[in-house]
A and B are shown apart, each in its own frame.
Chain A
Amino acid sequence: EAQVTQNPRYLITVTGKKLTVTCSQNMNHEYMSWYRQDPGLGLRQIYYSMNVEVTDKGDVPEGYKVSRKEKRNFPLILESPSPNQTSLYFCASSLSNAGAGNIQYFGAGTRLSVL
């Protein structure tokens, strides 16, 4: 089954404790991105990757890191989480970033609370 898998689905942590949210897709998609979704602010892109070893900042990259060592995986790293990073996070992948290839397939989401 074609899917994007995120883990964990729920996470409660404390300020400053490094964490990683994993994302994996099995569709051989080139383009992957991370979003956060907050009430009243909608979906905002954190980072994106156009291919292996190619990553770039989205609209709200501060406090986050990513890596793309393999095509299928795109982990999101919070080196020192803070309460303002409490949010619902989505990983998404698409075949490309143009035309019909731009259709996004989302993971089920990770609900993160930073205390």
Chain B
Amino acid sequence: RKEVEQDPGPFNVPEGATVAFNCTYSNSASQSFFWYRQDCRKEPKLLMSVYSSGNEDGRFTAQLNRASQYISLLIRDSKLSDSATYLCVVPLDAGNNRKLIWGLGTSLAVNP
């Protein structure tokens, strides 16, 4: 199993739709997780952190399932501006460095 795996998409959804992405991870010891958003050719920006079972911020909800080792991102009432690539990030302890393992991203296109 890859350290972090995401469905690359693309997900094409109409405005107003609800869409969910999953991210699976292999290291059962990972404690915290992140979702970043990356617009085309731009830098990634933090969308949400997930430290316990989940997190909610407006239209965005992240949920963590430790037993099955996946985190999900749910976007409700999709807007055109939500079109982007969503990157799942899982910290992994490696010696004295907590490195971040980045998923390849899930591409979302919200259509009018």
Contacts and interface: CB of A to CB of B under 8 A. Distances in A.
Contact-residue size bin, chain A (C-beta under 8 Å from the other chain): 20 to 34
B46 A109 contact: no
Contact of B98 (A97, A106, A108, A111): A97
Interface of B: 32, 34, 36, 41-46, 49, 51, 87, 91, 97-100, 102-105
B44 A43 contact: yes
A102 interface: yes
B105 A103 contact: no
B103 A42 contact: yes
A109 B42 contact: yes
A113 to B, nearest CB: 14
B103 A99 contact: no
B87 A102 contact: no
A56 to B, nearest CB: 7
Given A42-B104, A109-B42, 6 more contacts: A43-B102, A44-B102, A45-B100, A88-B41, A98-B98, A108-B42
